Amino acid sequence: MKSSQLFTRTRKQAPADETSKNAQLLIRAGFVHKEMAGVYAYLPLGLRVIENIKTIVREEMNTINSNELIMTGLQRKEVWDKTGRWNDDVVDVWFKSKLKDGTEVGFGWSHEEPIVEMIKQHINSYKDLPVSLYQFQTKLRNELRAKSGIMRGREFVMKDMYSFHNSAEELEDYYNLAIEAYKRVFNRLGIGKDTYVTFASGGAFTKFSHEFQTICEAGEDVIYLHRGKNIAINEEVIDDAVKELGIKREDLEKVNTAETGNIFNFGSQKADEIGLKVSGPDDKEQSVYLGSYGIGITRVMGVIAEKMSDDKGLVWPENVAPFKVYLASLGDNEQVTKAADELYALLQKNNIETLYDDRSVRPGEKFADADLMGIPHRIVISEKTIQAGTLEYKSRTGTDTKMITKQELLEILG
Amino acid sequence: MKSSQLFTRTRKQAPADETSKNAQLLIRAGFVHKEMAGVYAYLPLGLRVIENIKTIVREEMNTINSNELIMTGLQRKEVWDKTGRWNDDVVDVWFKSKLKDGTEVGFGWSHEEPIVEMIKQHINSYKDLPVSLYQFQTKLRNELRAKSGIMRGREFVMKDMYSFHNSAEELEDYYNLAIEAYKRVFNRLGIGKDTYVTFASGGAFTKFSHEFQTICEAGEDVIYLHRGKNIAINEEVIDDAVKELGIKREDLEKVNTAETGNIFNFGSQKADEIGLKVSGPDDKEQSVYLGSYGIGITRVMGVIAEKMSDDKGLVWPENVAPFKVYLASLGDNEQVTKAADELYALLQKNNIETLYDDRSVRPGEKFADADLMGIPHRIVISEKTIQAGTLEYKSRTGTDTKMITKQELLEILG
């Protein structure tokens, strides 16, 4: 895409009322717009990042035979009353309103109850299981405070997946498949090595649940790490876990983290409460076992913005970046424009997402924007490079430029 | 995708409380789930249809240099107060709620005001214009009644686009480009010949606005058609339009329609009210001209379901169908399974979206499902076809089957 056709604007200063680093950077770089505290619109650059993250998550969920659907934002009281979670004393993040006839409605902060209710109409027999379903949904949560930018929004995008099984063992197997799928997701997102499968508080059926915690200074969680044994424990269960896992507390390192994913084993409790049963091989009613698996899509974006940035701006991993290449032509020289146009066409032909900065602004402004936006690869075409018969290349994280050929560029971009 | 991996279930009867034909069909065929009146979840088959519609709309909006973003569902009172549209007497479809600190918030039923407010932070000069932006947004509208299935939801998906210009003339030109883009959209969606650019009531700056009205028995609108002159008029402006356009009322045909799209010229009124101005070439402040352009994504899906169906079920146009091919293998014969597996692999290699019905159910059940789901092309592989060295082909709209070769199939699927 050409810069002249992209709706974006970088700015020197973040708004004074924005205190979180991720939102400051994302606003300055033109990725998001703050509507109110914890509520952000995603501008074209930001939407591209979200879609890249979703694509990776979608591919990995499909790999474990999950089916994508989309539930509703509007929620019925009756469904949530079955588990007691309509009550504002039990769930304190509801937004609620009323239909014209006075019927109360809620706005989806989670979809566990409604998806269990929905599936009652779609399965009858043990033969219909297992089933796994997921969605990318905009969740609304009436948070008391929202000071972490897009890392904790009142409105945010989540991938939530639900799996339904005939037995605790079958659920356990799928749960483990999901852990592996999540690891692949975080690796592909570029934060794999800083993301830990973490023991967290469990439910009625399991001693622990599992969170995916990503090391992040601005994160709101604290975990204890045993780097040698690759064990991570949420501080909320540290006493139990140390005992259970037979490790020494003094070997653990305390770090700030953000919960980027979580998986939860409900056993048969949730389905029992909502009245979801299937007929078994003996024609008798039997329980259904539910697992629930979340990844915070916009939170992941915020965590990456927090972690992978420097004093010049954002530094997106390749798989997440809104564009892979920033192509800048310098000056109004006709030959330069022609060469830049040709390279842009070549990159497009090779399906390499390129932001072609065709604006008539000074080089320093183009370079500053490329850095602030965090595009991984920068190419410059100028009179100097044309005379040399090469291109000027710099990676976002590198310090030096180098002169390379088109062929070398295509190899770098792999 | 194999049927055994697809979460879906067809059913003989629609739920008793569902009165609209489109929702009855879509529920029976396993495309949607009714959460409450006017609020539907989209199951995997339904989501595929929505995504196909969105892809067509997205491509055409990109063609007229519009940029995709996503605004927020949560809305601020202050922004809407500027135009008086926070008032429930002015806009009677608001859902509203409150933050923990008592601040009122609304849920987006439209995004005209917030996008104008947002863009104030992104443009300063006439040189920054024109700008065109669009989103696919889930809108919430507190409708008194919701009896038309997914054709009028309390929760629905809309593509809304907004263009910003330096002059009424520049806006007019873009408005006309948008009309042409919309025509291409409706043609590609398969409802072009039944969709009319219709004169409707205008605003402060234009005598008429334009609606895209699609002929549909269950539609909630009435228009008057002059088929010879290809003129369509919403009944709300019939007297004015007949006079203005110099046509005879008795030449007009009265038809029921659904408003699938609309475009509106706000002149500079909306931007003036919200305080959006730019500096002109003479450095003086000048007005900004706004156009607004909607397409009801889920409504279009409902209209297609209403119009293009028969007593066997849905009949999707090729570009919209969740799968292009329904491949059924009959019987448990090993050769049959092998041949069906091979054809499935061939279709996948050719990027032809195929639903491969690998279930062990009787042929009649497979054929009934293929028809109910409305998949355009049906292929059967059985012992009989293997002996004949051919495939059995039937189009969804055809009455007869015919025996064809693989090569002929690939030609049909073109």
| DSSP code for A388 | H
Q: Is residue B145 part of a domain?
A: yes
Nearest to A168 by CA among A293, A294, A286: A286
Residues A90 and A33 in one domain: yes
| A295 vs B209, more confident | A295
Q: Which among A35, A43, A123 is the nearest to B74, CB-wise?
A: A35
The mean pLDDT value for A63-88 works out to 98
Q: Is the pLDDT of residue A402 over 80?
A: yes
A-B C-beta contacts closer than 8 Å:
124
Please check whether residues B290 and B405 belong to one and the same domain.
Answer: no
**B110 and B149, same domain (yes or no):** yes
Do B395 and B382 meet the contact criterion of CB atoms below 8 Å apart?
A: no
Residue A9 CA, chain-centre distance (Å), reads 24
Chain B hits for A42, Cβ within 8 Å: 69-70
8 A C-beta contact, residue A330 and residue A359: no
Same domain assignment for residues B258 and B189 = yes
**Do B27 and B148 have their domain in common?**
yes
pTM higher than 0.95 for the full model?
yes
Q: What is the helix (H) or strand (E) element at residue B385, kind and residue range?
A: helix B383-388
State whether B161 and B297 are in the same domain: yes
- Per-residue CA distances from B89 to B24, B74, B93, B142, B398 (Å): 34, 20, 10, 13, 52
**Are both B93 and B140 inside the same structural domain?**
yes
Contact B36 A74 (CB under 8 A): yes
pLDDT at A208 over 90: no
| A397: Cα within 13 Å, side-chain hemisphere | 7
Task: With beta carbons under 8 A apart, name residues in chain A contacting B297.
Answer: none
Q: Which residues of B touch A40 (CB under 8 A)?
A: 72
CB B177 within 8 A of CB B64: yes
Q: Which domain holds residue A215?
A: 9-226+258-310
pLDDT at B228: 86
Q: Indicate yes or no: CB of A76 within 8 angstroms of CB of B35.
A: yes
What is the nearest CA distance from B142 to chain A, expressed in angstroms? 6
Mean pLDDT for chain A overall: 96
Residues 73-92 on A with a CB inside 8 Å of B are: 73-76
In this structure, the answer to whether residues A58 and A147 fall within a common structural domain is: yes
Low-confidence ranges of chain B (pLDDT < 50): none
Residue of A8, A65, A72, A125 to mutate when probing chain B, most B C-beta within 10 A: A72
Q: Is residue A241 part of a domain?
A: no
Classify the C-alpha dihedral B222-B223-B227-B228 as positive or negative: positive
Q: What is the pLDDT of residues A239-280, one digit of tens each?
A: 999 998 889 999 999 999 999 999 999 999 999 999 999 999
Q: Classify residue B142: in a domain, yes or no.
A: yes
Q: How far apart are CA B200 and CA A25, in angstroms?
A: 45
Say yes or no for a CB contact (<8 Å) between B41 and A72: yes
Q: In chain A, what residues touch B36 (CB-CB under 8 Å)?
A: 74, 76, 105
Residue B172 lies in a domain: yes
Distance between CA atoms of A375 and A318, rounded to whole angstroms?
Answer: 8
Closest partner CB to B70 (pick from A42, A71, A75): A42
What percent of chain A is helix, strand and coil (3-state, nearest 5)?
35, 30, 35
Chain A, 93-112: which have a CB under 8 Å from a chain B CB? 95-97, 99-100, 105, 107
Q: Which two tokens stand for residue B331?
A: 């019987």
User: ipTM greater than 0.90, yes or no?
Assistant: yes
Q: Between residues A352 and A208, which one has the greater pLDDT?
A: A352
pLDDT level of residue A15 (50, 70, 90 thresholds): confident
Asked if B7 has any chain A CB less than 8 Å from its own CB, the reply is yes
B378 token code pair:
């049906």
Residue A250 lies in a domain: no
Residue B345 shares a structural domain with residue B397: yes
Q: Sorting pLDDT into bands at 50, 70 and 90, what band is A205? A: low
Same domain, B289 and B338: no
Contacting residues of A for B114, CB less than 8 Å apart: 35, 41
B230 is written with which tokens?
A: 């290809």
Contact in structure between A381 and A358 (CB atoms under 8 Å): no
CA separation for the pair A165, A131 (Å, rounded)? 7
B168/B58 same-domain check: yes
Residue identified by tokens 């564009």 is: A323
Distances (CA, A) of B49 to A245, B44, B78, B298: 49, 9, 37, 9
Counting residues of chain A whose pLDDT is more than 70, the rounded percentage is 99
**Token pair of A147 as six digits:** 């000071």
Which of B326, B316, B413 lies closest to B368, judged by CA?
Answer: B326
Q: Does A361 touch chain B (CB under 8 A)?
A: no
SS (HEC) of A152-217: CCCEEEEEEEEEEECCHHHHHHHHHHHHHHHHHHHHHCCCHHHEEEEEEECCCCCCEEEEEEEECC
Whether A44 contacts chain B with CB within 8 A = yes
Nearest to B36 among A67, A76, A122 (CB): A76
One domain for residues B279 and B358: no
Question: Do B68 and A46 make contact, defined as CB atoms within 8 angstroms?
Answer: no
Count of structural domains, chain B: 2
- Name the β-bridge partners of B140: B155
Give the H/E segment covering residue B36: strand B32-36
Residue in the structure block whose two tokens are 């330069």:
A336
Cα(A146)–Cα(A38) distance, integer angstroms: 5
Residue B241 lies in a domain: yes
**Which residue, among B35, B42, B103, would best test binding to A if mutated, counting the most A CBs under 10 Å from its CB?**
B35
Contacts of B105 (CB under 8 A, 6+ apart): A36, A95, B74, B75, B76, B77, B96, B97, B98, B99
Which of B258, B276, B310 lies at the terminal end of a domain, its last residue?
Answer: B310
The beta-strand segments (E) located in B330-369 are: 354-357
Output the six-digit token pair for B189.
Answer: 């969606």
Amino acid of residue A201 = S
Residue B363 belongs to a domain with what CATH number?
Answer: 3.40.50.800
Helix (H, G, I), strand (E, B) or coil at B364: helix
Q: Name the residue in chain A with its Cα closest to that of B143.
A: A100
**A-chain residues within 8 Å CB-CB of B5?**
65, 67
Residue A204 lies in a domain: yes
With beta carbons less than 8 A apart as the criterion, state whether A9 and A30 touch.
yes
Question: What CATH number is associated with residue B84?
Answer: 3.30.930.10
